[in-house]
Amino acid sequence: MKKAALFLSALLLAGCSNPRPPECDCTTSQPPTSEPVTDNKKAINALFSYLAKEAIKQWGEDDYVESSKHRFVKYLDGYQTRAHIDFEAGKIYVSTVSQYQPMDKLQKAIVQTVLMPADPKYAEQFTDKEIQLTGKPFFLGQIVDQEGKSIEWEWRANRYASYLISNKLQSKKIKKGTAYYVEIDMVKDHLEQREYQYAHYVRDASKRYNIPEDLIYAVIKTESSFNPYAVSHAGAYGLMQVIPKTAGADVFNLVKKKPGIPTKEYLFDPANNIDTGTAYLHILKTRYLRDVKNASSKHFSMISAYNGGTGGVLATFHPDRKQAMVELNRHSPRQVYDALTTKHPKGEARRYLQKVLYFQKDFKEGNI
């Protein structure tokens, strides 16, 4: 209990360590009307369904794998070959079920995977198109070859692929035939390597919206494990998993003062994504939750609202929104934390607050 109390104390201090930011110029909460708000969730699920249908033809239902917030899956070669990147575990699996020249297909897929560019538009995850190798590889520094050297050029990637196939090849019997695959371990500090890639974007967004850097990092780690290709069935995109028609629309309308909603291409850009996600945290803090009086209680509430919405936070305390705010302010910060992590209507939101605060404490201690 003593350890838990010390941990909570650190979290409370984290919530109070920054001065109150200036109020944003948020004069309306109405969605933009100059262009239609599309049903992004429906559209993204249609893409997931199409991908599943095509990939299952080759792999079967039991061995089909799809992308998620912390996982990127790219199918190639008529959906017979794929790269599966687990950003949390730091593992990459490159596999093929092709019965025609499978080693050639595997070799090519390994090369495309280790040299994959950082911009998601060059690695279309809902088609089987080849990955376009352009610019600096995203995994540079996160993957090393058999000699312990980073892989930046195609000749080195090909040599590494040949080594893996000759020395690390595995096979597995599946319903559709035989799958050949190799496993690639990322370096131990792969997460830190990705953090460094986005440090300047986080720093700029923190200054722009007066949101602590450690909180931005913690949200990114919770949402995507620093996976810039992240996409979910909820229609959220990128590092901070921004949903265009909700958080994205709010940022465009209330902060950017521009009509419409951000496109998926806009949100897949790391700079735009971090800016938008941080701006939404600013909106939560200075607009939707501005009446929360205690700084730590507000900190807990805005983190919870980033995942489960402001309505979910208020519903934790009372069905009526106005009365909910009164009840929330009657609670101590510790009681607010306990309520949001045990009584929030959504289980995911309860766990979300715990995760973000845990990661924020870690980043605050200098692990950035």
Does 188 have pLDDT greater than 60?
yes
What is the pLDDT of the chain when averaged over all its residues? 88
The confidence score (pLDDT) of residue 365 equals: 65
Which domain-ending residue is among 185, 215, 249?
185
Of 326, 320, 254, residue with least CA distance to 297: 326
Residues 49 and 35 in one domain: no
What is the mean predicted confidence (pLDDT) over 3-11? 43
Range of the domain at 271: 2-42+191-364
Residues 127 and 181 in one domain: yes
Residues 342 and 204 in one domain: yes
The residues, any chain, with a CB within 8 Å of residue 14's CB and separated by 6 or more, are 212, 214, 215, 299, 357, 360, 361, 364
Task: Name residue 83's beta-bridge partners.
Answer: 74, 94
The confidence score (pLDDT) of residue 155 equals: 97
Does 36 have pLDDT greater than 70?
no
Of 325, 360, 273, 313, residue with least CA distance to 11: 360
What's the CA gap between 321 and 8, in Å, rounded? 27
What is the per-residue pLDDT across 255-298, written as a single tens digit (0 to 9) for each?
999 999 999 899 999 999 999 999 999 999 999 999 999 999 99
Class of residue 170 by CB neighbours under 10 A (exposed 0-12, middle 13-18, buried 19+): exposed
Does 67 have pLDDT greater than 80?
yes
What's the CA gap between 205 and 326, in Å, rounded? 32
Query: pLDDT band for position 39 (50/70/90)?
Result: low
Residues 135 and 200 in one domain: no
- Tell me the percentage of the chain whose pLDDT exceeds 70: 88
Residues 160 and 204 in one domain: no
Residues 176 and 131 in one domain: yes
Does 11 have pLDDT greater than 80?
no
Distance of CA 61 to the CA centre of its chain: 26
Residues 351 and 214 in one domain: yes
CATH number at residue 330: 1.10.530.10
Residues 233 and 335 in one domain: yes
When computed from its CA atoms, the radius of gyration of the chain, rounded to whole angstroms, is 22
What's the CA gap between 301 and 91, in Å, rounded? 34
Q: What is the DSSP letter of 72?
A: E
What's the CA gap between 302 and 70, in Å, rounded? 22
pTM: 0.84
What is the per-residue pLDDT across 340-360, written as a single tens digit (0 to 9) for each?
999 999 999 999 999 999 999
Amino acid at 20: R
Q: Which residues of 22-34 are buried (b: 16+ CB within 10 A; e: fewer)?
A: eebebeeeeebee
What's the CA gap between 320 and 314, in Å, rounded? 8
Does 17 have pLDDT greater than 80?
no
Residues 172 and 112 in one domain: yes
Residue 234 to residues 41, 65, 69, 348, Cα–Cα distance (Å): 5, 18, 10, 13
Contact between 85 and 142 under an 8 Å Cβ cutoff? The reply is no
Q: What is the DSSP letter of 20?
A: P
Residues 161 and 291 in one domain: no
Which of these ranges, 39-43, 133-137, 160-164, 168-172, has the smallest mean pLDDT? Answer: 39-43
- Tell me the percentage of the chain whose pLDDT exceeds 90: 80
More confident position, 255 or 32: 255
Which domain-ending residue is among 161, 185, 209?
185
Residues 257 and 309 in one domain: yes
Residues 233 and 111 in one domain: no
CA angle 260, 265, 268 (to 5 degrees): 115
Which domain-ending residue is among 133, 158, 185?
185
Number of domains in the chain: 2
The confidence score (pLDDT) of residue 3 equals: 41
Query: pLDDT band for position 176 (50/70/90)?
Result: confident
What is the per-residue pLDDT across 293-333, written as a single tens digit (0 to 9) for each?
999 999 999 999 999 999 999 999 999 999 999 999 999 99
